[in-house]
């Protein structure tokens, strides 16, 4: 794994970038979902 990092192979770099983007997208999706749920709960309490 460490050797792969040092080798700067374009394929490996691309795959890592895609995995990172997917991870970021997943985090954003979870945060958005939590925000929507929190908003819904707040609205339910207020109403």
Domain parsing of the chain, residue ranges: 2-46
pLDDT at 47: 87
What confidence score (pLDDT) does residue 11 get?
A: 65
Instruction: Render pLDDT for 1-47 as a digit per residue (tens, 0 to 9).
Output: 455 555 666 666 677 788 889 999 999 999 999 999 999 999 999 98
The angle formed by the CA atoms of residues 18, 7 and 19, to the nearest 5 degrees, is 10
Structure tokens at 13: 């770099």
**What's the predicted TM-score (pTM) here?**
0.57
């Amino acid at each position: 794994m460490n050797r792969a990092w040092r080798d700067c192979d374009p394929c490996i770099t691309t795959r890592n970038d895609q995995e990172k983007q997917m991870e970021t997208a997943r985090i954003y999706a979870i945060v958005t979902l939590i925000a929507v749920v929190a908003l819904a709960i707040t609205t339910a309490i207020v109403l």
